[in-house]
Amino acid sequence: MSDATALPEVRVREAAAGRRGGGGMADHPLVQLTLVRFREFVREPEALFWVFIFPVLLAAGLGLAFRNRPPDVLKIAVVTPELAQSLGREKLLDVRQYSYAAAEEALRTGKVALMAEPGPAGAVVYRYDNTNPEGRSARLLADQAVQRAAGRTDPVPATDRLMREAGSRYIDFLVPGLLGMNLMGSAIWGMGFAIVDARRKKLIKRMVATPMPRHYYLLSFLLSRLVLLVVEVGVLLGFGVLVFGVPLRGSLAGLVLLCVLGSLSFCALGLLIASRARTIEAASGLMNAVMLPMWIVSGVFFSAQRFPDLLQPAIKALPLTAAIDALRANMLQGATLAQLAPQVAILGAWLVIGFTLALKLFRWR
């Protein structure tokens, strides 16, 4: 047995002996087990990257890609000077005059969103791909410009009041989703891989042979997760608030409780996944099978309401959906814990049921 492999077992044995001899709190087996979890985590550069750095990079990239900016000016092609003059009055259109063949080529290769040409009896023919959002927008703007150039007047005047308030932007929607995704990923991967790797190396079997109470081993994972939670949440939220001005309108204490409850619920799920798995490959497959569907349907990057109504009850019952919905309501709407009772109840149910099943199924050898 190598020294590195024996280290956790030796420390637990020494801690248990120290406890019998009246040692201090630092010699308590639970403290030593929790410190082992921290050392294992810190010595894995990949884990540090995926838990702390990757969510920040993802938030930065998506926040910049979907930042507030003026409306895009759409390029369109026309084949006559008269159409160019009529359409040139629309500020959101970049009108280019081409020959007929060149206009067709520009439309076919995607250089322009729409092609306008004269039709019979003074009509205007618009050629565009109606499955392309830019093509549909260009068609509406172009026809509006042509009709006004022909003398149409709007009977009801309209004015625009553009909203740029924090809380309505995509980055405000995104950060709580990334936070929930990170809580789930770090809890399930952290619990699952560590436990299965220890089982594969026969470390759990050796630790069970020590005077260590069995529940201390599982509690050490929870304690280490809760301590790391402070850094995980702080880094991502701090980046969102300081760089993008993401609002925190709800109670900070409520936000902390939601993060703790969400993390514990996902820890229970990770423990359940790892309760029987003997190999890293088996654990990885199970964890991906559990997490990937939730990444897609739970509203991390876009609203879960996009899915059919028939699926909504099942989607709402998922722990990641409940966590993200609760985090968004707290941060963006200032919702209280009482108002978030349904989401809290769902997370609590996953916590209790997950831990109960995991403890009954857990394989110690």
Query: What is the rounded CA–CA span in Å between residue 63 and residue 240?
Result: 9
Report which of 298, 292, 297 is spatially closest to residue 326, judged by C-alpha positions: 298
pLDDT of residue 44: 65
Q: Is the pTM of this model over 0.85?
A: no
pLDDT of residue 163: 47
Query: What is the rounded CA–CA span in Å between residue 14 and residue 7?
Result: 11
Report which of 146, 153, 140, 151 is spatially closest to residue 86, judged by C-alpha positions: 146
What is the Cα Rg of the chain in Å?
29
* Beta-carbon count within 10 A of 59 CB: 23
Report which of 205, 316, 325 is spatially closest to residue 262, judged by C-alpha positions: 325
93: phi > 0 → left, psi -120 to 50 → alpha, else beta; which? beta
pLDDT of residue 190: 79
We find that the CATH architecture of domain 74-149 is 3-Layer(aba) Sandwich (3.40)
Domain ranges within the chain, ordered by starting residue: 3-66+166-361, 74-149
pLDDT of residue 15: 53
pLDDT of residue 49: 64
3-class secondary structure, 362: coil
Q: Enumerate residues 6+ apart whose C-beta is below 8 A from 170.
A: 62, 63, 66
pLDDT of residue 259: 93
pLDDT of residue 3: 46
Q: What is the mean pLDDT of each run of 10 residues along the chain (365 residues)?
A: 48 52 64 69 62 68 60 84 86 89 87 88 85 84 84 58 58 88 86 81 77 76 81 85 86 92 91 84 83 87 84 92 93 90 95 89 77
